[in-house]
Amino acid sequence: MSSPSMARLRQAVLALSVLLMGCGSAGYAVDSATSACRQNPAYCAQVAGEETVVPTLRVAAEETVVPAIRGAAEVASVGATLRVVLNIATKSRIEQSLMECTDWAHEQVNSRYFGADGPSRQQCKEELPQLDPCGRKVTRAMQLGTEKHELALQCAAQKLGALIPGRFSLEQRYRYDRQSRRTELVSPEESRALRQHGCWDELQGTLVPDVVIHTGNPLLVQAVYDFKFPCPIKNEPTWREYEGEHPYRGSSQGRMYSEALQAESALVAPRWGIHQRITP
């Protein structure tokens, strides 16, 4: 590699390191790594070893792609920033792990209640005597889905913890403003406090993906996955569609994940695997 190329590589790695450490001081309109990527996209694919440094441009607005975290200093507004994209091999290992988790959770819960065959369509529709915390009716499908979700999340924590420690979040809540296109984290403490004080309006419109893969900063997202457990299993898993007075009405759960977090979102379901990918 020539010395000019080596110099650009050092600049790019330094800029990326500063970004990933959360160093967002005003005055960095376009960093050196972004400039280098614009000049030579092929070079960018070599930065950061297994993964790719890609400039993300937002031409229409002078807002940063990495918004402020509530309670922390705001990241400087810029016209371009960097995001780290998972390489194919790493993404494949992650998705294989998540598929194994959904298959395992599905089999564990089904065998507990129904044996190897699983519930019939009629059994899935059966209403249970207990109500949910909001006083709504609960079907057998809802109960099974909840139990399978819990097991799948436990499994994901173990597998991803070994595969990409510190680079994933489970059920992280985000607040997203479509008008300003600003995304921020909602801490577990804030979420609990709002619930305890009955502030459900503050939580309406927040997004809670099951699994978020990131760089180590939950706002620098690389991929988003949601577990779905259709009942019966022959039903195709689908994204939730927002309706009525919901602030995201007219859009789907997966579309909102991709829009708010600027990353591909996908469903993970037993026997269906990775399903219905949505890109930003």
**Sequence spans of domains, the chain:** 3-85, 88-278
pTM value? Answer: 0.70
Least confident of 172-186, 189-203, 216-230: 189-203
Task: Please report which confidence band the pLDDT of residue 40 belongs to, taking 50, 70 and 90 as the band edges.
Answer: very low
> Mean pLDDT throughout 158-179?
95
pLDDT confidence of residue 134? 67
Contacts of 74 (CB under 8 A, 6+ apart): 24, 67, 68
In 3-state terms, what secondary structure has residue 225?
A: strand
Contacts of 257 (CB under 8 A, 6+ apart): 207, 209, 224, 226, 263, 265, 278
pLDDT confidence of residue 149? 97
pLDDT confidence of residue 25? 34
